[in-house]
Amino acid sequence: MRRRRAGLAALAASAMMFSLLPVAAASGAPTLAVAAGQVTTIPDWRLQTSRTATSGGNVYSDPSFNDSSWLPVAARSTVMAGLIANNKYADVNFGDNLKSVNRDDFSVPWWYRKSFTAQQPAGTNTFLKLKGGIIARAEVWVNGTKVAGTDTVIGAYPTREYNVTSLIRNGTNAIAIKAMPSDPTKDLLIHFVDWTQLPPDRNQGLFRDVQLANSGAVSLRDLRVSTDLPLPNLTTADVTVKVNARNDSGQAVSTQVTGTIDGLNFTQPVSLAAGETKTVTFNPGNTPGLRLTNPRVWWPFTMGGQPMYTADVSASVGGTVSDSASTTFGVREITSQRANGGGRQFIVNGKPFLVRGGGWASDLFLRTNLRNIQDQMNLVRSMNLNTIRLEGKPENDEFYDMADRLGIMVLTGWECCSAWEAYSSFNAEKNRVAGESAESEGKRIRNHPSVLGFLIASDLATPATQEKIYLDALARAEWNLPIIASASNKSSPQLGNSGMKMDGPYWWEPPVYWYNKQLGGAAGFASEIGPGPTIPEMDELKKFLTQSQITSLTNYNTSQYHLSPSGTFAKLSFWGTALDNRYGKPATVDDLVRKAQLANYETNRAQLEAYADNQSDSSNPSTGVIYWMLNDPWPKLFWHLYNYNLATAGSYFGAKTALRPLHVQYSYDDKSLSVVNTGLQNASGLSVQVTLFNADGTQKANETRQVSSTGNATVKAGTLPQPSGLSTTYFARLLLKDSSGKVVDRNVYWLSTKADTLNYNGSDWYFTPQSGYADLKGLNSLSAGSVNASASSTVEGENTRTTVTITGTGNQVAFFLRASVRKGTGGAEVLPQDWSDNYVTLWPGETLTLTATYRTADLGGAAPVVQLSGHNTQTRTITS
């Protein structure tokens, strides 16, 4: 995040494949798996502040210590997450309750403790594995012995492993971890910057798994698989499998390393001296079958399928399995280059890949709720957003597994505005932790086909010393994907210019802004831009704002706690000024919420359409855009496409409209029409029908143009008609039809004969001011529209699908119709619900069918009903 100055049916069902880990789930002492190759994850912990637990790790890691008075917390649980799960605070999402948390509670260390039982066979080795660092630093104790201290267990991301074989005893054992206070301005941790109010504990404690792994004399580590396609040919692929075999015994040993992929078996004998590690490699040179014929090639979901392979390997000593490892992988190849104009162009399997993604926010308290993450992934794919950017918050393994299966690309890297970019403060320790972090993350995610690249900096350029540290670390991880110097237009000595820009905006801009190639407009690769405030619907506002906070939204100069802690983004400010001038000053807060959906819809649609419109420009094409942001870490009023509770409003559906795979769209700058094709296949015999209507329903123009669409490209289809006599506010309806006349895409714009204008000379890092405003106030005086609507629901496995059919009646437009599924008449909205489309507009005689998919269990036993509302229609309830 740039800071220059202070200031769905099948997809939903797949969620059931994952366990749910949202809160504490205390268990008894688990039994350590004793079979070679097995791994036990610590399932939960007991938590206590060091103000109460004043003894040392030798006491708390003693198996006889009684921790029954300590708090039960989940396997992955920061201190705040644990306290919230144990109901220590009023709802921290509501109002300003988060302010009441005593920050001083987190100025001291906190203890985590867990007992487990073990029965170790002779010759078995046990390793304690930290899947990531412990925030901020930690002491680790096992059975009264200190295994590691704060001089080595540092940072959010380094993975660490300790041989604790000599410490494990048959019977009851215990592990204790002392997590130190967190300060992301000093250590390489996690920081939420100005995205939201900050967690009071600054994410102190555990947020990834702690595991105990067993093996015999030989252990296997770092299984990795790489693939090579002879592009542009996709008929063969070379697969290379590597794994490190380590002799953990005190004498020489011979082992047989065996593997299998897709029915192909391969093996190698390996001799290891005492304590020796060797990399065992299988490739087409020694295993001809690893040159695959007609491989199942993995693609981003907008371009193709997501077939996955599995590689299994094991090491045997004397005919007995000593250790085993497994990984999934996909056959794909990703590179990048600088396009004309300098933008970073990613290339997948030889095809240019236009990134249209969103910036991900982890849960504010780093809680792991796998069903929630799966639901978010489903919404992302349903929206046709093809990429997620992780700025400084690389997610847990399950996140990447989901992205692999759904074909959603992931662009990862470090964050801004914290110790990560305070390069002048890097000493020997920070340099070491930086390298460990990059190597650990590189090894952890390198096998995932969904990973697009690694940003070694966000807002700044990495100096030569740190650049070398990161590049060396990623080389040790055998990273074979693009490495980018920065998310802003910066250069580093070895990598050169990033090919990315971070020129804003971060607050309101009108639709026309996105088409100008200046600043954040559609040229090159914009790594984080967006129009700021995204006001949810009233149902959602009531879940996290007090009534007085809701009422205060009409005062644009009021600081809002659910905006940003940064003064720059603490008020609605000129977003409200633009709303008043364009749509008319809201009469009530309900009117504000209604108009906010219109503003959010039109500018979000324009941002993503503009970057698609310019992708085929030969001199300065748009190559990527990351919408800032995708989601909420905590309930808030800005920077999201869907909100904290996964409710979707104008922001989401404006984006979803723009991202349709075969799409007709309008350009606000030159009034041109375009057809965007994000697939790889051409589409011929298409036609674009464009119809203009005055606000009173009078048809002013109706034209049809023939067009053929090129795969993975944008083609022009003429310009918008310019008839005389247009009302100041008017409508344009675009219909894209196939050769049979079937409508394959539909797009409705509300436009003005008075254009939005911008003062680029007054631009600041986060916005360009408007000098003139489009006049869309005619929407306030639309005559009443009318529709007929019906709904039906069917159960499909664990989900319900509700179908809503809406027909325009009378003689006026029915504008901006929103359907929502409710838990019975008068009930709350079912969340999440995945709609095929929403906020739709109909003229008399037109019929649209919308579908929503959601979990049947989320109805809470009630019958589904549909609430249908509109800008100029009466709200009604439809039984389904």
| Catalytic sites, residue numbers | 459, 528
- Give rounded-to-5 percent helix, strand, coil for the chain: 20, 35, 45
Q: What are phi and psi of 110, to 5 degrees?
A: -125, 145
Cis peptide before 536 (omega within 30 of 0): no
CA distance 692 to 165: 76
Give CA separation, 566 vs 5, 366, 393, in Å: 11, 21, 20
Element containing residue 583 per DSSP (H, E): helix 574-583
Both tokens assigned to 830 = 């079912």
For the beta sheet containing 622-627, the strands, ordered from the edge strand earlier in sequence to the opposite edge, are 483-484, 451-455, 409-413, 387-389, 355-359, 622-627, 524-529
Q: What are phi and psi of 387, to 5 degrees?
A: -145, 150
Q: What are phi and psi of 802, to 5 degrees?
A: -110, 130
* Helical H segments across 646-790, by residue range: 650-658
Assess contact for 61 and 231: CB atoms under 8 A.
Answer: no
Assess contact for 856 and 799: CB atoms under 8 A.
Answer: yes
CA distance 138 to 133: 9
Element containing residue 313 per DSSP (H, E): strand 309-317
Work out whether the CA dihedral 82, 86, 92, 98 comes out positive or negative: negative
Give CA separation, 571 vs 458, 638, 700, 779, in Å: 25, 10, 41, 26
Give CA separation, 147 vs 55, 144, 176, 187, in Å: 17, 9, 10, 22
Question: Number of helices (H) and strands (E), helices first, in the chain?
Answer: 12, 47
Work out whether the CA dihedral 462, 615, 720, 786 comes out positive or negative: negative
Strand segments, DSSP code E, in 608-698 are 622-627, 662-666, 672-677, 683-694
Judge residue 192's burial from the number of C-beta atoms within 10 Å of its C-beta, 0-12 exposed, 13-18 middle, 19 or more buried: buried
Select from 494, 449, 444, 440 the least CA-distant residue to 467: 494
Ordered DSSP codes for 325-362: EEEEE-B--EEEEEPTTS-EEEEETTEEE-EEEEE---
SS3 category, 18: coil
Assess contact for 659 and 608: CB atoms under 8 A.
Answer: yes
SS3 category, 599: helix
Residue that the structure tokens 């022009």 belong to? 716
SS3 category, 104: helix
CA distance 125 to 563: 51
CA angle in degrees (0–180, nearest 5) for 109-213-395: 60
Strand segments, DSSP code E, in 478-602 are 483-484, 491-492, 496-497, 524-529
Cα torsion at 96, 420, 354, 637 (round to 10°)? 10
What residues have CB less than 8 Å from 792, skipping those under 6 apart? Answer: 802, 803, 880
Assess contact for 543 and 562: CB atoms under 8 A.
Answer: no
CA distance 478 to 330: 16
